[in-house]
Amino acid sequence: MSEDLKRTTIAGNLEEQRRIRAEKVTAIRAVGGDPYPDRFVRSATSVELHERFAQLEPGAETAVMVSVAGRVMLRRNMGKLIFLTFQDVTGSLQLFVSQADLGEEAFAAVADIDLGDWVGAQGEVITTRKGELSVKVASLRLLTKALRPLPDKWRGLSDTDTRYRQRYVDLIVNEDARRTFRVRHQAVRSLRHQLDEEGFVEVETPVLQIEAGGAAARPFVTHHQALDQPMYLRIALELHLKRLVVGGIERVYEIGRVFRNEGISTRHNPEFTMVEVYWALANYQDMMALTERMICRAAQDAIGTYAVAHPDRPDVSIDLTPDWPRRKITELIAEHTGETVSVHDEVPRLRAVCDRLEISYEDWWGAGKLVYAIFDKKVEELLGHERPIFAYEYPAEVSPLAKPTPGDQENTDRFELFIGGKEIANGYSELNDPVRQREMFEMEVAAAGHGDVEATRTVDEDYLRALEFGLPPTGGLGVGIDRVAMLLSGQPSIREVILFPTLRPESVENTRRLATGYPDGDDADDQGPV
């Protein structure tokens, strides 16, 4: 069996296509060419030319010379005339390549260009007889040889696993993927602009922490060698940002990655991006208004409308137009379950309500956790399907960092924003009484003792020390950036708005196949069951 035949037998047609492209690389080098040259000076992008020459008649010549560059996506070979359609970051454009213009030798080189190659071309802007805007190529350079073939030019790449693992291919061939990440970028930029304009200072705080606090979630654990010290990846931004408010940064925010060692779903990725905002002298009402300003502006900047597609119902859209309703969670519970409950009710009565609604609970839960469970299990998913809604006045028992509602120690001035049945944002008037904060921490430690793996296990003494220096009245807010991106891009899965979502590792054999260099005769020998 010859080497080539064996290779083909083992790895199939992919190896044949890669071999042929690799041989072109060799051939280019053999005549002193460079298949991976240095820079190319581009004078115009495809979209700039489409905009500037939108009105040309068919068959027009402009005498305007341009340099363009991009990846070859389509090729139509007519013999002595070749049409190439390339794609750059702005869009795509046709190259008109005539043997009469280039001469036989240069034309033959263009005929060797494969789909997926990067090329740079220089020539006159024209339209064809059919009116297609084109660059009539006077010279064309290979800028990068692609060794692997692109997916089907018409159907693209649809296998979700491959799309996520090989996002580079997804982005090359799927316009919807490019659009999604453009929307995400514009939304993030918009949030940042809004906060900057309102005088907020952007900061960065530690990702590696001695104790992960600020939320109820199981953290990722790692280890610092030099300190010989276990460390945690942060699960929230909150406690460090409030230390900065103590330090006098009265308006502060961070856009950053947080990590939660929990289940993966269409709405949860182990690492995700939050923006948290803290505003001295403000309260939770101010933060609701700020949330609304931020998301409304993001919608306008990213998609130019207040009408967003419903994540689960293709035929429905959600209207983001201000002002969004604000309702107490107990009112929403009554409205959607018919049960009148209060955090001041006796525990047995609340347990009876949970039993009626078929909600399970732990025997150590107080009234706050029970009321919250009712809201969480029976009401949340029903909220925000026509327009966003703020729910507020959450039990203190489930809000250990929030300030009590004036005159009601069992409730807090906390809110959550729901859009399309999903939680998008969470905020409150910050608890700034260090004595009460210590009590709340100790309650959490007790919950951890009950087996609550998400409860904070230690009292954050440094945070309490900071509070003792005086945290002014402060409003705080956390927004899940990924969920905003899902909302605005109309994507039903968080994996669609994260460039490289968390996946199981690829199989060894598959990784091997994908990572194998070429040409290299040894690889093929190692792979197969020869």
Give CA angle at 463 (457, 464), nearest 5°.
95
Segments of 52-145 assigned E as strands? 61-77, 81-88, 91-98, 118-127, 133-144
Residue among 1, 41, 78, 227 that touches RNA (CB under 7 A): 78
Residue among 156, 270, 366, 519 that touches RNA (CB under 7 A): 156
Window contacting RNA (CB under 7 A); options: 76-84, 184-192, 279-287, 290-298: 76-84
CB-based contact 237:254 (threshold 8 Å): yes
By the rule CB under 7 A, 234 interacts with RNA: no
By the rule CB under 7 A, 68 interacts with RNA: no
Give CA angle at 376 (375, 378), nearest 5°.
65
Nearer to RNA, 115 or 459 (CB): 115
Window contacting RNA (CB under 7 A); options: 155-163, 291-299, 384-392, 464-472: 155-163
Q: What is the DSSP letter of 398?
A: G
Residue among 10, 47, 60, 207 that touches RNA (CB under 7 A): 10
Window contacting RNA (CB under 7 A); options: 46-54, 212-220, 240-248, 334-342: 212-220
Whole-number minimum distance, CB 231 to RNA, in Å?
A: 20
Window contacting RNA (CB under 7 A); options: 43-51, 151-159, 188-196, 283-291: 151-159
Question: Which residue bears the tokens 């028992």?
Answer: 397
Nearer to RNA, 7 or 184 (CB): 7
Whole-number minimum distance, CB 189 to RNA, in Å?
A: 27
Name which of residues 414 to 473 contact RNA (CB under 7 A): 416, 426, 444, 454, 456
Residue among 177, 215, 481, 497 that touches RNA (CB under 7 A): 215
Helix-strand-coil split of the chain, %, nearest 5: 40, 25, 35
3-class state of residue 446 by DSSP: helix
Residue among 22, 56, 210, 216 that touches RNA (CB under 7 A): 216
Residue among 182, 185, 257, 268 that touches RNA (CB under 7 A): 268
Window contacting RNA (CB under 7 A); options: 45-53, 77-85, 317-325, 339-347: 77-85
Nearer to RNA, 99 or 300 (CB): 99
CB-based contact 211:231 (threshold 8 Å): no
Window contacting RNA (CB under 7 A); options: 223-231, 251-259, 346-354, 397-405: 397-405
Name which of residues 91 to 130 contact RNA (CB under 7 A): 94, 96, 98-100, 114-115, 128-130
Which two tokens mark 528?
């197969």
Whole-number minimum distance, CB 492 to RNA, in Å?
A: 7
Give CA angle at 437 (474, 233), nearest 5°.
85
Element (H, E) at 280: strand 271-280
CB-based contact 19:2 (threshold 8 Å): no
Nearer to RNA, 321 or 510 (CB): 510
* Sign of the CA dihedral with 471 first, then 474, 478, and 479 last: negative
Whole-number minimum distance, CB 154 to RNA, in Å?
A: 4
CB-based contact 403:384 (threshold 8 Å): no
Query: What x-and-dash track marks residues 30-59 binding RNA by CB under 7 A?
Result: ------------------------------
d(CA 260, CA 272): 8
Whole-number minimum distance, CB 134 to RNA, in Å?
A: 6
Residue among 17, 285, 317, 342 that touches RNA (CB under 7 A): 17
3-class state of residue 228 by DSSP: coil
3-state SS record for 4-54: HHHHHHHHCHHHHHHHHHHHHHHHHHHCCCCCCCCCCCCCCCHHHHHHHCC
d(CA 143, CA 155): 26
Name which of residues 180 to 209 contact RNA (CB under 7 A): none
Query: What x-and-dash track marks residues 478-517 binding RNA by CB under 7 A?
Result: --------------xx-x-------xx--x-x--------
Residues linked to residue 74 through DSSP beta bridges, in sequence order = 85
CA 79 remoteness from chain centre: 45
Q: Residues with Cβ < 8 Å from 339, sequence gap 6 or more?
A: 333, 353, 356, 357, 374
d(CA 93, CA 42): 14
Whole-number minimum distance, CB 394 to RNA, in Å?
A: 8
3-class state of residue 402 by DSSP: strand
Q: Residues with Cβ < 8 Å from 2, sequence gap 6 or more?
A: none
Window contacting RNA (CB under 7 A); options: 161-169, 269-277, 300-308, 430-438: 161-169
Name which of residues 367 to 396 contact RNA (CB under 7 A): none
By the rule CB under 7 A, 260 interacts with RNA: yes
Q: In what order do the strands lie in the sheet with 208-209?
A: 208-209, 229-233, 221-224
d(CA 253, CA 427): 13
By the rule CB under 7 A, 257 interacts with RNA: no
Whole-number minimum distance, CB 332 to RNA, in Å?
A: 15
Name which of residues 270 to 329 contact RNA (CB under 7 A): none
Residue among 33, 131, 247, 472 that touches RNA (CB under 7 A): 131
Whole-number minimum distance, CB 349 to RNA, in Å?
A: 22
Nearer to RNA, 297 or 326 (CB): 326
